[in-house]
Amino acid sequence: MARIVQKFGGTSVGDVERIGHVARRVKREVDAGNEVAVVVSAMTGVTNQLVERVREAARLHDAREYDAVVATGEQVAAGLLALALQAIGVSARSFLGWQVPILTDDAHGRARIQSIDPTLLLQRMADGQVPVIAGFQGIGPDRRITTLGRGGSDTTAVAIAAAVAAERCDIYTDVDGVYTCDPRIVTKARKLARITYEEMLELASQGARVLHTRSVEMAMNHRVRVQVLSSFDDSPGTLVVDEDEIMEQRTVSGIAYSRDEAKVTLTHVADRPGVAAAIFGPLADASINVDMIVQNVSADGETTDLTFTVTRADLDKTMQLLQARQAELGYRALLPDPKVVKISVIGIGMRSHAGVALTMFRTLAERGINIQVISTSEIKVSVLIAEEYTELALRVLHTAYGLDVT
Ligand code: ADP
Ligand code: ASP
Ligand code: MG
């Protein structure tokens, strides 16, 4: 007997028929003698609709009410799955975040889980009942509903798995595992049998939405065994594991892309100490996260151009803040560009192999794709390019690193 957590994403619970299918999958684990807790996302499309309604109601909305609205999608899915389980003879009940309880901080819209009391869940499971927990939500210190950020149900699942000391956390989704690249764009992408926590963390944080970034962080910290697999077929999925559990040596394991990028360039900024701090200080104060930064060498010894990226959602605010400081910062032009994409190649093998970045630059150059900004870390190289080249760049890089299925 094992204790396991199963998480089902939006497409997996997309309609009542699919929810019935999910219920049978849960029953299979129960019938095998396991203690099972389930986490669900909202039915596909529902969260987007709710977000849209909030925006219609108020463009600059109260984040606490945003959470009260967008958390409701998961409540419906959890209730429907509990009903579907009962209908096939499995004892089940739904749990909202606050009923578990899942306590978070007060960062509405992107809250972090602070603690989970597993007592009630463990009791129910020991009694042979399946708790069906609404993902993506919790309760803040002010006793108001919080949400964990888009895609956050994965994080709920891993956090529950850690709290109840589950043997496994199975993330069921609409693809049958983690691929070398988004299989919806690169048809030659290959399914990985295993991937390290570190690589998965980089892939997720660089845009591969198959797992929520924080879910990987949490799995890594609490050593939760995460498996990504399909809710539609029985093919073996991908295991996220420690480095020493990986047999195969590869330099690049995967390629991710993020369209959620916007580039800002300031021209003719004074080339003297303190200028970067004057530019980035107000952005940090406004909780705007700056990702890539490049500053050119000053040609005349007096001024230079500075380029950086923020998320698209932060672009307007960034422009506003910098425009208001034009006199103080003394730049000549402030140029926004939201039509960019960040492409990242990731692999722990980069620590010991040189030339990964060079292959990237050459491959893109051969296709006439201009690189606008570059950034690197120990196991990652990222470039910013024009959005129109996304598909082409992903495909040629995938081939160049020998990742194509044969
Ligand atoms: P769910 O609703 O089940 O949480 P998501 O849409 O959040 O599903 O995540 C699954 C999607 O992630 C897939 O449909 C796929 O298009 C996308 N994806 C992006 N990169 C990858 C990758 N490297 N491997 C697998 N899927 C990926
Ligand atoms: N329903 C939420 C979203 O669409 C959470 C999730 O799917 O993980 O972002
Ligand atoms: Mg998801």
Q: How far is CA 76 from CA 39, 83, 132, in A?
A: 12, 11, 11
The count of residues in the chain is 406
Amino acid 112: pLDDT: 97
Amino acid 258: pLDDT: 97
Q: What distance lies between CA 367 and its chain's CA centroid?
A: 29
Superfamily (CATH) of domain 3-246: Acetylglutamate kinase-like (3.40.1160.10)
Could you check whether the bond before residue 118 is cis, i.e. omega within 30 degrees of 0? no
Instruction: Report the alpha-carbon distance of residue 109 to residue 136 in Å, rounded.
Output: 10
> pLDDT for 161-195, tens place per residue?
999 999 999 999 999 999 999 999 999 999 999 99
- Average pLDDT taken over every residue of the chain: 95
Residue closest to 102 by CA, chosen among 71, 62, 130, 61:
71
Ligand 1 atom closest to residue 228's alpha carbon, by position in its atom list: 25
DSSP codes, 71-128: THHHHHHHHHHHHHHHHTT--EEEE-GGGTTEEE-S-TTS--EEEE--HHHHHHHHTT
Q: Does the global pTM surpass 0.85?
A: yes
Q: What distance lies between CA 271 and its chain's CA centroid?
A: 37
DSSP codes, 183-227: TTT-TT--B-SEEEHHHHHHHHHTT-TTS-HHHHHHHHHHT--EE
More confident residue, 59 or 304: 304
% of the chain exceeding 90 in pLDDT = 89
Mutate which of 7, 18, 48, 175 to test ligand 1's pocket (most atoms within 8 Å of Cβ)?
A: 175
pLDDT higher than threshold 80 for residue 248: no
pLDDT higher than threshold 90 for residue 250: no
Ligand 2 atom closest to residue 150's alpha carbon, by position in its atom list: 9
DSSP codes, 216-263: HHHHHHHT--EEEEESSS----EEEE-GGG--S--S--EEEEEEEEEE
Amino acid 46: pLDDT: 98
Amino acid 115: pLDDT: 98
Structure tokens at 147: 């949400």
Amino acid 297: pLDDT: 77
Residue with CA closest to ligand 2 atom 8: 151
CATH 3.30.470.10 fits 248-401, yes or no: no
Instruction: Report the alpha-carbon distance of residue 140 to residue 98 in Å, rounded.
Output: 9
pLDDT higher than threshold 80 for residue 247: no
φ/ψ of 214, rounded to 5, equals: -70, -25
Identify the DSSP state of 338: E
Compute, in angstroms, the gap from residue 45 CA to the centroid of ligand 2. 9
Which residues make up the CATH 3.30.2130.10 domain(s) of the chain?
248-401
pLDDT higher than threshold 80 for residue 237: yes
229 lines ligand 1 (CB under 6 A): no
Q: Which ligand is nearest to the CA of 156?
A: 2
Amino acid 272: pLDDT: 85
| Ion ligand 3: residues, CB < 5 A | 151
Residue closest to 255 by CA, chosen among 194, 345, 195, 175:
345
Which residues make up the CATH 3.40.1160.10 domain(s) of the chain?
3-246
Amino acid 296: pLDDT: 81
Ligand 2 shell residues, CB under 6 Å: 9-10, 41-42, 47, 73, 135-136, 150-153
Compute, in angstroms, the gap from residue 18 CA to the centroid of ligand 2. 17
pLDDT higher than threshold 90 for residue 354: no
96 lines ligand 1 (CB under 6 A): no
More confident residue, 270 or 322: 322
Compute, in angstroms, the gap from residue 259 CA to the centroid of ligand 1. 15
Averaged pLDDT for residues 219-228: 97
Residue closest to 135 by CA, chosen among 214, 213, 77:
77
Q: What distance lies between CA 118 and its chain's CA centroid?
A: 25
Q: How far is CA 230 from CA 157, 177, 288, in A?
A: 16, 7, 36
Compute, in angstroms, the gap from residue 100 CA to the centroid of ligand 1. 28
Residue with CA closest to ligand 2 atom 6: 151
Residues sharing a CB contact under 8 Å with residue 17, sequence separation 6 or more, in sequence order: none
pLDDT band for position 352 (cuts 50, 70, 90): confident
